[in-house]
Structure 1
């Protein structure tokens, strides 16, 4: 029998949603560190109190809405407790899942008795202050921590191929559409059918978010509202309008406290409130997205999801809660096919990154809190968390709930399994002419909804290329945005532009 001192359980959860319309709310809300500290205090209270001062390991999810010199130290100061291990994580939407998994493994190895993690962002307040000409470091009450003049954005993309950078494909909002377009074609869908699937799924997510007291957009949206471009739903990057992309302009924080089953029982905590942390797995795609074999699959996602459930001895039908990362529709659509979920399955318990809100790297901490609430209402049931980071790059899944037991002794990484699922990668060339066929594409729009340019990924022989479609080429842009005729595989002509980039015109 497993020693209860080595069985990790979640005992406390805390969430904060600082809304600008809350009664008594000041013009600028609390800073990210204050939101994190409040979430930790709420998690401590949820666990019955007295645990926060016992936390020996605290992981802080990377925050980018305010330039701190030392965010972990600031959080520790605000809570009045500095753990022996105080760590700050890298950028990545999967990091809350990884931190929770690592906390469980520390408990199981006997390295610590109490661990915690927290996330928090205040992008809504920071953006509103910029628009109003205010400075949170001096105009907020209390003033936010003085900004670090040496701070640099952690979202530097220097690992991407130079061609991706030159074409402006360095942000998730313009790269994930390349996957969406390729996946629709692989699944035999027209763009209209793919859009309608996304809209129906997102409408279901919005209904979950509407019932979540910590969600940001707390009303349900219809599929038509989500699919149809409008003044409030402008096109961003084909085929995604605003209501299909993550919404980072929020003020939200979340925290979880983990200890052993023995300590939780010794403290007299009710058994149904103790949510075991089960097995998990992690793997990555090549970090430079142009160095991948195809854009219509994610081998690391497949390997991580299958290994996690296999290690837990579960099937998708056994799960009472599923949270599939949802920065853009292609991610959960791909994952639910990998899991074999039905079309009417709703793979979220928090509400998704569009409607619940996307506090940048922290969403999955909120998803974990929502899963804990669901599993407390169904003792013995199990749930699945799946997080993703960067450009369909970093994948981590974790089972919560079920029968208490020690975490799997298997290595967390299933990288070898992921790598074995890939095919050959075409070399990227920068100079070419003549005919080239469309591998995938997107079209970028300005704030008024007019197309700025198309960007196409092409194949010529065994090579891969990037090229631009100028805004003036209405015929080619029309082909790329035709809802009823997939453009993938279409031939076109490559020409060098005066700035040295290639341009492509449909033949």
Structure 2
């Protein structure tokens, strides 16, 4: 075993619920710092390890995840170093990772390589969200000052928003995760041939076991257990947000959570006296990016994630059948089912697909959810020596996927890179976009209920198979109402172009 073999040696989490005793309304920096201390103490101690950190990397909060984003209570000008100061560390290098849920796993993959090359000795990754606290305090008319002027070096890697979505979709009203994922989900429903009610139950059967895992997780924001019917049935407490998603089927953004992961080398761990029963090896990984949604041949599939998952398993020398525990990113059901199905995992496979409880129940801690997944995976594998675990981390609109295969089982470091995988993805053919269409057949759609009146967004194909996006408008024809009453999938639509060049549905005829 080379002294430069990379390993995870410590993980930590912190959380608070607004209705829990001892609630402190911690800021994002304070939550991340609490998780960072827990990770160092998990490995050995803060005092023993903080001076040895040469890299700290932070995952950005949602409230600083875009050029127009505004943090209601202010922010630290250097989030990674603000956290480092709280644990008594002064690393040579601080990084703010790009936006996206793939970030935590990407950092593990990146710095495993850097540690193996001798470029990094010890690295700490962390992130946090205090969305629930912000909303709670604002609803009470309270305000906090979370501004910090820290200064110092920081490598800001940007927002990472390029290529996530195009004006084809955004201009027609599909620009949020709920809207885009709903369209992916309905494309999958078209493939299954299920009606709305049956498909809702299928999504409920997927997520019901997740609620049981969340029930036993002390850091979960919701610990209520639901069966499939309870998740699928629309009620005042489980309102429909965007067809086909009731509220309980989507990531829970009201969370106060922080998580951290500590990495070093085998040699450094031995030098510092970190016990071997803490060590977790990364056996394989991959990092890829999909094209924009409108440029994908199949809106029901996530082939880039499949490539990344299979590459990580192959590099680890195992198959999906050898994995004991999974955590598949679960912001929406489609993010789980695409990867599950591509890996050949049956819907009734008893192996858990989450170690946290998943984003709708454990909590969707912004871009940092998968840091919690890795932390939970590390603890699960320490309790199952020799078993393998798989983490799949998703970002954007099924846009970016990072994977990792973990075990306590020692692994000779072989290294890996994903450039060849990305070149393959980039070479895939793209659908042809129709210009000035007049009629088409609905390939997928969603109906957004978050406005004053329901709003439909549709992806259609013309007679030649060319793709176009269309939208409904409020008016006497009430096309959105017709979509609610009838089956949109396979329906025939007529469209016109408005003054902005958008395709507006003027007639809707469900498939006989």
TM-score relative to the length of structure 1: 0.90
Partner of residue 340, structure 1? 344
Native 8 Å contact 1:93 1:387 kept in 2 = yes
Q: Where does structure 1 lack aligned partners over 5 or more consecutive residues?
A: 138-142
Using a 3 Å threshold, how does the CA distance of structure 1 residues 398 and 156 change in structure 2: closer, same or farther? closer
Q: Distance in 2 between matches of 1:147 and 1:159?
A: 31
SS of 1:167 mapped into structure 2:
coil
Using a 3 Å threshold, how does the CA distance of structure 1 residues 473 and 424 change in structure 2: closer, same or farther? farther
Indicate the larger mover: 78-87 or 391-400: 78-87
SS of 2:454 mapped into structure 1:
strand
Q: In the TM superposition, what is the alpha-carbon distance from 1:423 to its structure 2 partner?
A: 3.7
Q: Distance in 2 between matches of 1:34 and 1:12?
A: 19
1:172-208 CA-to-partner distances (Å, cap 9, x unmatched) read: 1100111101112123333333211111111111111
Q: In the TM superposition, what is the alpha-carbon distance from 1:440 to its structure 2 partner?
A: 0.8
Partner of residue 26, structure 2? 30
Using a 3 Å threshold, how does the CA distance of structure 1 residues 25 and 502 change in structure 2: closer, same or farther? same
Q: In the TM superposition, what is the alpha-carbon distance from 1:155 to its structure 2 partner?
A: 8.2
Native 8 Å contact 1:62 1:89 kept in 2 = yes
Partner of residue 383, structure 2? 377
Partner of residue 204, structure 1? 209
- Compute the RMSD of aligned alpha carbons: 2.5
Structure 1 residue corresponding to 2:369, chosen from 339, 360, 363: 363
Using a 3 Å threshold, how does the CA distance of structure 1 residues 72 and 23 change in structure 2: closer, same or farther? same
Q: In the TM superposition, what is the alpha-carbon distance from 1:486 to its structure 2 partner?
A: 5.4
Q: Distance in 2 between matches of 1:53 and 1:33?
A: 20
Partner of residue 259, structure 2? 254
Native 8 Å contact 2:290 2:304 kept in 1 = yes
1:375-421 CA-to-partner distances (Å, cap 9, x unmatched) read: 0001111100101111111011111115322443332341133345x
1:302-325 CA-to-partner distances (Å, cap 9, x unmatched) read: 111111111111111211210111
Partner of residue 495, structure 1? 496
Structure 2 residue corresponding to 1:409, chosen from 396, 408, 415: 415
Native 8 Å contact 1:198 1:329 kept in 2 = yes
Q: In the TM superposition, what is the alpha-carbon distance from 1:355 to its structure 2 partner?
A: 0.2
* 1:177-256 to 2 correspondences below 5 Å: 177-256=182-261
Structure 1 residue corresponding to 2:326, chosen from 294, 300, 322: 322
Partner of residue 305, structure 1? 309
Indicate the larger mover: 15-24 or 392-401: 15-24
Q: Distance in 1 between matches of 2:176 and 2:402?
A: 21
Find out whether 1:441 has 2:437 as its counterpart. no
SS of 1:6 mapped into structure 2:
coil
Using a 3 Å threshold, how does the CA distance of structure 1 residues 291 and 95 change in structure 2: closer, same or farther? same
Native 8 Å contact 2:286 2:416 kept in 1 = no
Q: Distance in 1 between matches of 2:442 and 2:301?
A: 17
Using a 3 Å threshold, how does the CA distance of structure 1 residues 466 and 291 change in structure 2: closer, same or farther? same
Q: Distance in 2 between matches of 1:331 and 1:69?
A: 33
Q: Distance in 1 between matches of 2:203 and 2:494?
A: 32
Find out whether 1:116 has 2:124 as its counterpart. yes
Indicate the larger mover: 64-73 or 297-306: 64-73
Structure 2 residue corresponding to 1:10, chosen from 1, 8, 15: 8
Aligned residue pairs, count: 487
Structure 1 residue corresponding to 2:473, chosen from 470, 475, 480: 470
Find out whether 1:63 has 2:61 as its counterpart. yes
Using a 3 Å threshold, how does the CA distance of structure 1 residues 154 and 417 change in structure 2: closer, same or farther? closer
Q: Distance in 1 between matches of 2:61 and 2:437?
A: 41
Using a 3 Å threshold, how does the CA distance of structure 1 residues 403 and 454 change in structure 2: closer, same or farther? same
Native 8 Å contact 2:102 2:395 kept in 1 = yes
Native 8 Å contact 1:11 1:275 kept in 2 = yes
Indicate the larger mover: 456-465 or 322-331: 456-465
1:223-242 CA-to-partner distances (Å, cap 9, x unmatched) read: 22211111211111100011
Structure 1 residue corresponding to 2:279, chosen from 263, 274, 298: 274
Native 8 Å contact 2:32 2:128 kept in 1 = yes
Q: In the TM superposition, what is the alpha-carbon distance from 1:11 to its structure 2 partner?
A: 1.1
Native 8 Å contact 2:32 2:258 kept in 1 = yes
SS of 2:41 mapped into structure 1:
helix
Using a 3 Å threshold, how does the CA distance of structure 1 residues 154 and 147 change in structure 2: closer, same or farther? farther
Native 8 Å contact 1:290 1:428 kept in 2 = no
Structure 2 residue corresponding to 1:175, chosen from 180, 197, 208: 180
Native 8 Å contact 2:283 2:316 kept in 1 = yes
Q: Distance in 2 between matches of 1:498 and 1:465?
A: 17
Q: In the TM superposition, what is the alpha-carbon distance from 1:112 to its structure 2 partner?
A: 1.8
